[in-house]
Amino acid sequence: MLAPKRVKYRKEQRGRMKGIATRGAYLSFGDYGLKAMQPGWITQRQIEACRVTLSRMMKREGKLWIRIFPSKPVSKKPAETRMGSGKGIVEFWVASVEPGRILFELGGVTREIAEEAFKNASHKLPIRTKVVSRIGL
């Protein structure tokens, strides 16, 4: 599973998602990309599910780039626990995504394969996305 090897602080506050992406908002590696249209948290499991779907659809041709990394820890307290006694333990990791961010990129595949692969991968994500390309879709 994806998670940072080490972090400066073990637990983080939730924060708030406002504004649009200024970093990672353009295609850098491949010819086609999956772009986020809403803000949200994408968990390590969702990223892995998308990776598996995309690599299966490509059938060992082309290349896949994952442009997001789950570096934000999310903590939870156990069920039926009384209030107080500190912050819960880290349960999972998320990538905080803002609108305009490129999530995945594909290169070396046809437009039809890329569109179909991204459509299937977008079903695994909790946010709205759209397919973008260098050529112009």
Q: Which CATH number is 126's domain given? A: 3.90.1170.10
In a domain, 5, yes or no: no
CA dihedral 20, 21, 26, 29 (to 10 degrees): -150
In a domain, 102, yes or no: yes
Give me the count of residues in the chain: 137
69-94 pLDDT, tens digit per residue, is: 999 999 999 999 999 999 999 999 99
Pull the structure tokens for residue 86. Answer: 């500190």
What is the domain extent for residue 101? 32-78+87-133
Residue 137 pLDDT: 52
86-131 pLDDT, tens digit per residue, is: 999 999 999 999 999 999 999 999 999 999 999 999 999 999 999 9
8 and 71 Cβ atoms separated by less than 8 Å: no
Dihedral sign, Cα of residue 72, residue 78, residue 81, residue 85: negative
36 and 101 Cβ atoms separated by less than 8 Å: yes
In a domain, 95, yes or no: yes
In a domain, 127, yes or no: yes
* Domains of the chain: total: 1
DSSP 8-state code for residue 7: -
Task: Give the neighbor-by-neighbor strand order of the sheet with 32-36.
Answer: 63-66, 102-107, 32-36, 129-133
pLDDT confidence of 2, banded at 50, 70, 90? confident
DSSP 8-state code for residue 77: P
- The candidate with the shortest Cα–Cα distance to 97, out of 132, 68, 135, 57, is 68
